[in-house]
Structure 1
Amino acid sequence: MTLIRGILNSDEALPVSPDQVTVEWCSKALGVVIKEFTTVETIHGTASKILIGLKICSSNGGTDEPRPDQICVKGGFDPSITAIYPGLNAIYKREAEFYYYIAPLVTMRLPKAWYCGTDTVSGQGIVIMDDLRSTGSTFGTALDPWPVARVRAGVEQLAALHAATWSKTAQDHPWLSSGSALPAVILALLEPEAWARRYAEGERPPVPDEMLDRERMRRAFQKLWSATDPRYNCLVHGDAHVGNTYITAAGEPGFIDWQGLAVGSAFDDVPYFIAGALTVRDRREHEVGLVEHYLDTLADLGGPRLRKEQVWDEYRRHTMHGFVWALTDPHMQPKDVIFAMVERYTAAMVDHGTLALLGC
């Protein structure tokens, strides 16, 4: 196990805005002397990413250890978003915990993390990792659905996480005892004011009429969370959509954005990834084969041997997760991305009779 540099639950406040991510702070976090420091770009979304080019003094530590020269500093650096949804700090913290505790233990394709920090002041969490663009990688986007072969490789990555952590509970990872922060975020997005903002004239995503009842959709999420089958519990990504992926220069997919990590059903991740990554037509044609490939890979990597017939209703129920895109605040993601994802996920919900299966 390779430990990652960092301090968790520090009493010292972490940066909460881009101007606080300074050369002095980065030097302290990385434990080096930085002689050149250039902020290349700041990208705000649900979380913020500050891309920085730097040069580190060659005399640092007197070792030949690799040093980053292009980094991504990720955390909660958009005060306008955290003011509306204070609970987001918990998901920034969770991502730092993933890279600190779990990333060194799993055989997954992940960006190199150099530092992880959390504080007890704001609840903020920050990760410093390689800027993947500097490695020739590209990022998945909802506007470019994946070919089936790449989705097949993607479910293999999820199977690697799930197999390595199958049957784990919060007792195995005490820092997970608070559970997933995403249900609280989803419930906040289902509040009348947030719903009105999302469904204002000209902003309504392409949601079928049967899904326009706010209270019905709230009940459906609550039924989903209460009906999850604990037999399928493991550590889950929690937000495994195609926009939270990257593709290496060799064309291999990996997952990023581990803010929703939690103990939960493996079948929270799998349908959410498959339905969001494919066109509706490709999903309908290849979905069963992809689920069967996931199950085979899960068993091959040390997880349980499961049959599609055993898990299919659990899979169908968790297709509900995709409706979170129909709640996403217009300030969090571009409108065209939201609309593309909503179309795919709601089609999957209709195809699988998800609301009826949840009794809503």
Structure 2
Amino acid sequence: MSQPISSAQKLPTVPSEITPEWLSSKLGHKIKSLKHTRSIWGTGSKLFYTITYEDEDDNHPSRPTHICIKGVFDPTMLASQPWTLPLAQREADFFSHLAPDLLLADKNTPINFPQTWWAGTNNSQGISIIDDLYTSGCTFPPELASYPLSTVLEGIDQLAALHARYWGQSEATHPWISNTYDTALKFLCSPSTFNETVRDPDRPKLPTYLQDGERFNLALDLYFSTRNPKFRTLLHGDTHIGNIFFSPSMSPSPSPSPEGKIGFLDWSALHFGSCFHDVVYFVTAMMTVQDRRKYEWEILDRYLETLHQLGGPEFDRRDKQVMNEYRRSFMTGAIWLVCPFDLQSKERVGELCKRAVAAFGDHGVLELILGEHKGEDKEGSCVVL
């Protein structure tokens, strides 16, 4: 597989630098004009355009007319949240180097992600040019959505396919894939920031045991440093509900979801880590607390079965190491305790924080991690990932 190459190419860093000339050089077709239709600002900026080509011949079905250009285009955001740059670069690397491989993967469980037209990086930017999914008929979850078991299982199958494809691999085989997720989460959860954020009266109210920044960071550091390498694979890394879309089903068999075929957006947190990171983060965000409690073990069993069917290892949740790693992985929900409202809406943060806090309590996550550190549960203990 090809590896990313450091590039000195000049890439736009503000919207005004996205010109017909620059875009023509990336798409391979001369562009007459660009119409900027809208923008979505967040961890990664999304700029939407309609393209008019110099050659208006309709015999070019392979070239796009409605695109989304993703990157870091807000200098103010970049200055306050510097960790957003490597996320944009990582997503561009995904579309350049891994997406083609995934398109060749097992067609029985295809992983649904946006059509990509070009992607590249330099030291100050990472840009992905993808389809404008809105104009393709795709839909997206509302701020406070939750979904039924059938929809969640369709997503779980795709995660199992991704994990099986890269099971046991690491930065040793893909040295350009670094773990930016941990860095970003630690940045947001630093003790002083954590204490100030969770005590803000405008934030979701947390139980007392989750309001101690020093204790929480001790648990977070221990979780990061003691994930079991037995469960290591390539992760999407950020499988919450805001990174989901539904594309119209094009196959004779209808999608399990009435919304269409579920797919995953925003591959900027791609990294190697524990497989259960993707699983628990996805399930917690996609379901109400009540449904997650009701279907949790059915979903986990489905994941383990599909993982094995697609070439991954065979695991059983009766194995204490499996359950230990699974329960500890709910630590990924820490992001919703401190997520800034300029990255996700207040409504979404409030709802996903509620779901994450319930999972923390149900699985005794902090107590489990800190108890291991004290030597209270040595069986199935973990080592550095």
* TM-score, with structure 2 as normaliser: 0.87
Distance 1:273 1:99 in 2: 21
Q: Could you list the runs of 5+ residues in structure 1 that have no partner in the other structure?
A: none
SS of 1:344 mapped into structure 2: helix
Check the 8 A contact 1:244/1:257 in 2, yes or no: yes
Residue in 2 that maps onto 1:298: 307
Distance 2:191 2:217 in 1: 11
Residue in 1 that maps onto 2:377: none
Distance 1:282 1:75 in 2: 35
Identity of aligned residues (%): 36
Check the 8 A contact 1:7/1:116 in 2, yes or no: no
Residue in 2 that maps onto 1:25: 22
Check the 8 A contact 1:194/1:329 in 2, yes or no: no
1:253–1:12 CA distance, 2 compared to 1 (3 A):
same
Residue in 1 that maps onto 2:375: none
Check the 8 A contact 1:8/1:117 in 2, yes or no: no
- 1:317 has 2:316 as partner: no
Letter of the 1:308 partner, please give it. Answer: R
Shift of 1:196: 5.8
SS of 1:145 mapped into structure 2: coil
Shift of 1:197: 5.8
Structure 1, 62-71 or 240-249: larger mean CA deviation: 62-71
Residue in 2 that maps onto 1:92: 88
Residue in 1 that maps onto 2:160: 159
- 1:82 has 2:85 as partner: no
Q: CA offsets, 1:161-191, max 9 Å, x none?
A: 0011111111221212xx2111111121123
Shift of 1:337: 0.8
Shift of 1:193: 5.7
Shift of 1:21: 2.0
Shift of 1:8: 4.9
Q: CA offsets, 1:258-310, max 9 Å, x none?
A: 11111111111100100110000000000100010111111111111111223
Of the three residues 255, 270, 274, the one matched with 2:279 is 270
Distance 1:47 1:254 in 2: 18
1:89–1:103 CA distance, 2 compared to 1 (3 A):
same
Counterpart mapping for 1:169-318 below 5 A: 169-176=170-177, 179-191=178-190, 194-195=193-194, 198-199=197-198, 201-250=200-249, 251-310=260-319, 311-318=322-329
SS of 1:174 mapped into structure 2: coil
Distance 1:209 1:286 in 2: 28
Of the three residues 27, 50, 54, the one matched with 1:53 is 50
The number of residues matched between the two structures is 352
Check the 8 A contact 2:246/2:261 in 1, yes or no: yes
SS of 1:169 mapped into structure 2: coil
1:165–1:259 CA distance, 2 compared to 1 (3 A):
same
Letter of the 1:352 partner, please give it. Answer: H
Check the 8 A contact 1:94/1:260 in 2, yes or no: yes
Q: CA RMSD in A?
A: 2.1
Shift of 1:142: 4.6
- 1:338 has 2:372 as partner: no
Residue in 1 that maps onto 2:121: 118
Check the 8 A contact 2:198/2:205 in 1, yes or no: no
Shift of 1:344: 0.3
SS of 1:135 mapped into structure 2: coil
Of the three residues 66, 71, 86, the one matched with 1:70 is 66
Q: Could you list the runs of 5+ residues in structure 2 that have no partner in the other structure?
A: 103-109, 250-259, 372-385
Letter of the 1:41 partner, please give it. Answer: R
SS of 2:333 mapped into structure 1: helix
Shift of 1:201: 3.6
SS of 2:340 mapped into structure 1: coil
Distance 2:28 2:363 in 1: 51
